[in-house]
């Protein structure tokens, strides 16, 4: 059995009010935890695999292609591969999400 604490893992992203930490990275998939400070924004980009976002805390404003919508904690959002997506924390409190990629890009 293997376990680890989020606080003990070095971030892979730490810029613009965002801290991203890879929680899981194996050939079959990848899970990244991203914390967004208020008003932080992850710019639009594409991934070569489907992505699922799980909102852990706060409200995420997510754009996928031409659609933009806000989602509260507890929501799972599907983002198809090769479609630009972006995430913004428009709130006044931290936003925490899990980004799940299957298979690992």
CATH of residue 61's domain is 2.60.120.10
Structure tokens at 77: 């959002």
The CA–CA distances, whole Å, from 81 to 32, 34, 46, 52, 64 equal 17, 19, 7, 10, 10
The domain total for the chain is 1
The C-alpha angle 14, 7, 101, rounded to 5 degrees, equals: 65
pLDDT higher than 90, residue 104: no
- At residue 105, the pLDDT reads 81
Which residues, including other chains, have CB under 8 Å from residue 11's CB and lie 6 or more apart?
Answer: 19, 20, 21
Instruction: Please give the residue range of the domain that contains residue 88.
Output: 6-101
Q: Radius of gyration (Cα) for the chain, nearest Å?
A: 13
Model pTM score? 0.94
1 assigned to some structural domain: no
SS3 102: coil
> Cβ(96)–Cβ(18) under 8 Å?
no
User: How far, rounded to the nearest angstrom, does the alpha carbon of residue 83 sit from its chain's CA centroid?
Assistant: 15
Tell me the per-residue pLDDT of 60-95, one tens digit each, with 9 for 90 and over.
Answer: 999 999 999 999 999 999 999 999 999 999 999 999
Mean pLDDT score, 36-52: 97
């Amino acid at each position: 059995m293997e376990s680890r604490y989020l606080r003990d893992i070095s971030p892979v992203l730490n810029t613009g009010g965002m801290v991203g930490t890879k929680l899981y990275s194996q050939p079959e998939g990848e899970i990244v935890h991203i914390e967004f400070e208020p008003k932080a924004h992850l710019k639009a980009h594409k991934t070569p695999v489907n992505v699922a976002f799980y909102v852990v805390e706060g409200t995420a404003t997510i754009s996928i292609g031409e659609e933009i919508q806000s989602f509260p904690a507890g929501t799972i959002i599907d983002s198809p591969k090769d479609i630009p997506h972006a995430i913004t924390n428009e709130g006044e409190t931290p936003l925490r999400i899990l980004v799940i990629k299957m298979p690992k890009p």
